[in-house]
Amino acid sequence: MTKLKFVAGALLAATLVVPTTTAVATSAKGGGATAWTPAAGSSGRIAVKDGSRDGDPAKAEYRRKASPGTKRTLWNKNGPNTTAYSGSGSRIISFQACDVNYGDGDDCSGWKAP
């Protein structure tokens, strides 16, 4: 019985000490654009995929924890089914995905918090 208690205690301690490394991404879809964060395994990176074939780019607009008053834009001008990634920085605190429509309003998801 003592050995069983020891093993159970060791397993419990291991689950409390080992951090989880899997981060669940939050995504947003606006028209044919999809953005998500964390991207590339970092809460300080965002990605945007252009899923439409309209010839217009996709973009992700976002704010970082270190500069919440500054709206930043990650452009994806590489064409359909391509993904662009931001550089590293402080944690992304809000973002939206937009499918750009030249000559008309953009299709945006609305702001999300990860």
Tell me if 73 sits within 8 A of 88, measured CB to CB: no
The whole-angstrom separation of Cα 98 and Cα 48 is 9
- If you average pLDDT over residues 43-65, what whole number do you get? 97
pTM of the entire structure? 0.79
Q: Which residue has the higher pLDDT, 7 or 48?
A: 48
Is the pLDDT at 35 greater than 80, yes or no?
yes
What pLDDT digit, counting tens, does each position of 79-100 carry? 999 999 999 999 999 999 999 9
Per-residue pLDDT, 2: 56
